[in-house]
Amino acid sequence: MVLRPDILVTMKRIEIVIDEKSLDDMLRLLRDADVRGYTVIKKAGGLGSTGERNPDDYVLEEHNAVMVLACEEDQAEKVIMTLQPKLKDFGGMCLISDCQWVIGPAASL
Protein backbone atom coordinates (compact mmCIF):
# COMPACT_ATOMS: atom_id res chain seq x y z
CA MET A 1 0.00 0.00 0.00
CA VAL A 2 1.28 3.39 -0.92
CA LEU A 3 -0.34 4.96 2.14
CA ARG A 4 2.17 6.67 4.37
CA PRO A 5 2.90 4.18 7.14
CA ASP A 6 3.17 6.92 9.73
CA ILE A 7 -0.58 7.35 9.80
CA LEU A 8 -1.38 3.65 9.99
CA VAL A 9 -1.01 1.38 13.00
CA THR A 10 -1.37 -2.34 12.57
CA MET A 11 -4.05 -3.65 14.88
CA LYS A 12 -6.43 -6.53 15.40
CA ARG A 13 -10.13 -6.24 14.73
CA ILE A 14 -12.28 -8.41 16.96
CA GLU A 15 -15.90 -8.97 15.96
CA ILE A 16 -18.28 -10.62 18.36
CA VAL A 17 -21.92 -11.60 17.90
CA ILE A 18 -23.92 -12.69 20.92
CA ASP A 19 -27.41 -12.69 22.32
CA GLU A 20 -28.30 -9.16 23.39
CA LYS A 21 -29.20 -10.47 26.82
CA SER A 22 -25.58 -11.49 27.39
CA LEU A 23 -24.22 -8.17 26.18
CA ASP A 24 -23.79 -6.68 29.64
CA ASP A 25 -21.85 -9.70 30.87
CA MET A 26 -19.68 -9.54 27.77
CA LEU A 27 -19.00 -5.83 28.22
CA ARG A 28 -18.05 -6.44 31.82
CA LEU A 29 -15.52 -9.05 30.69
CA LEU A 30 -14.16 -6.66 28.10
CA ARG A 31 -13.74 -3.95 30.68
CA ASP A 32 -11.92 -6.44 32.88
CA ALA A 33 -9.55 -6.98 29.97
CA ASP A 34 -8.93 -3.21 29.93
CA VAL A 35 -10.66 -2.62 26.64
CA ARG A 36 -11.00 1.11 26.15
CA GLY A 37 -12.92 1.22 22.93
CA TYR A 38 -15.66 -0.79 21.31
CA THR A 39 -18.69 -0.30 19.10
CA VAL A 40 -21.98 -2.11 19.61
CA ILE A 41 -24.82 -2.59 17.17
CA LYS A 42 -27.97 -3.98 18.71
CA LYS A 43 -31.13 -5.48 17.25
CA ALA A 44 -29.28 -7.74 14.84
CA GLY A 45 -30.82 -11.02 13.77
CA GLY A 46 -29.11 -14.18 12.75
CA LEU A 47 -28.88 -17.91 12.50
CA GLY A 48 -26.64 -20.08 14.59
CA SER A 49 -26.47 -23.35 16.47
CA THR A 50 -29.41 -22.33 18.68
CA GLY A 51 -31.65 -21.58 15.73
CA GLU A 52 -32.88 -18.36 14.25
CA ARG A 53 -33.05 -15.05 16.06
CA ASN A 54 -35.46 -12.61 14.50
CA PRO A 55 -35.70 -9.13 16.01
CA ASP A 56 -38.87 -8.47 13.99
CA ASP A 57 -40.82 -11.47 15.17
CA TYR A 58 -43.96 -10.43 16.95
CA VAL A 59 -43.95 -13.07 19.66
CA LEU A 60 -40.45 -14.46 19.86
CA GLU A 61 -38.50 -11.27 19.44
CA GLU A 62 -34.82 -12.13 19.93
CA HIS A 63 -31.91 -9.82 19.32
CA ASN A 64 -28.23 -10.28 18.72
CA ALA A 65 -25.65 -7.65 19.51
CA VAL A 66 -22.70 -7.16 17.18
CA MET A 67 -19.58 -5.81 18.80
CA VAL A 68 -16.51 -4.57 17.00
CA LEU A 69 -13.34 -3.64 18.74
CA ALA A 70 -9.98 -2.63 17.40
CA CYS A 71 -6.90 -3.01 19.56
CA GLU A 72 -3.19 -3.64 19.49
CA GLU A 73 -2.05 -7.23 19.11
CA ASP A 74 -1.08 -7.86 22.72
CA GLN A 75 -4.28 -6.27 23.94
CA ALA A 76 -6.20 -8.49 21.50
CA GLU A 77 -4.48 -11.49 22.97
CA LYS A 78 -5.52 -10.44 26.45
CA VAL A 79 -9.10 -9.95 25.29
CA ILE A 80 -9.22 -13.33 23.61
CA MET A 81 -7.70 -15.03 26.63
CA THR A 82 -10.33 -13.44 28.83
CA LEU A 83 -13.23 -14.25 26.54
CA GLN A 84 -12.28 -17.66 25.26
CA PRO A 85 -13.16 -19.71 28.38
CA LYS A 86 -16.64 -18.15 28.40
CA LEU A 87 -17.35 -18.42 24.70
CA LYS A 88 -19.33 -21.65 25.02
CA ASP A 89 -21.64 -20.01 27.52
CA PHE A 90 -22.15 -16.93 25.46
CA GLY A 91 -22.70 -18.78 22.20
CA GLY A 92 -22.53 -16.72 19.04
CA MET A 93 -19.28 -16.02 17.29
CA CYS A 94 -15.97 -14.28 17.83
CA LEU A 95 -13.73 -13.45 14.87
CA ILE A 96 -10.29 -11.86 14.71
CA SER A 97 -8.76 -10.28 11.67
CA ASP A 98 -5.97 -7.90 10.78
CA CYS A 99 -6.59 -4.24 10.19
CA GLN A 100 -4.89 -0.89 10.23
CA TRP A 101 -5.99 1.99 12.38
CA VAL A 102 -5.74 5.39 10.72
CA ILE A 103 -4.43 7.89 13.23
CA GLY A 104 -5.33 11.55 13.13
CA PRO A 105 -2.97 14.49 12.55
CA ALA A 106 0.09 14.35 14.82
CA ALA A 107 -0.20 17.99 15.85
CA SER A 108 -3.16 17.53 18.12
CA LEU A 109 -2.03 14.20 19.53
Residues that bind a second copy in the complex, under the rule CB under 8 A? 1-3, 7-8, 11-13, 15, 17, 35-49, 55-56, 64, 66, 68, 70, 73-74, 76-77, 80, 83-88, 93-105, 108-109
Q: Which residue, among 70, 61, 62, 76, has the nearest Cα to 23 in the 3D structure?
A: 62
For the CB of residue 25, give the shortest distance to ligand AMP in the complex, in Å: 14
| Residue 60 site contact among another protein, a second copy, ligand AMP, none (CB < 5 to 8 Å, cut-off depends on kind) | another protein
Residue 97: CA atoms inside 13 Å, Cβ hemisphere, count?
Answer: 6
Question: Binding pattern to another protein, positions 56-75, x when CB under 8 A?
Answer: x-xxx---------------
Which residues make Cβ contacts (< 8 Å) with residue 12, sequence separation at least 6? Answer: 70, 71, 72, 73, 75, 76, 96, 97, 98, 99
For the CB of residue 85, give the shortest distance to a second copy in the complex, in Å: 5
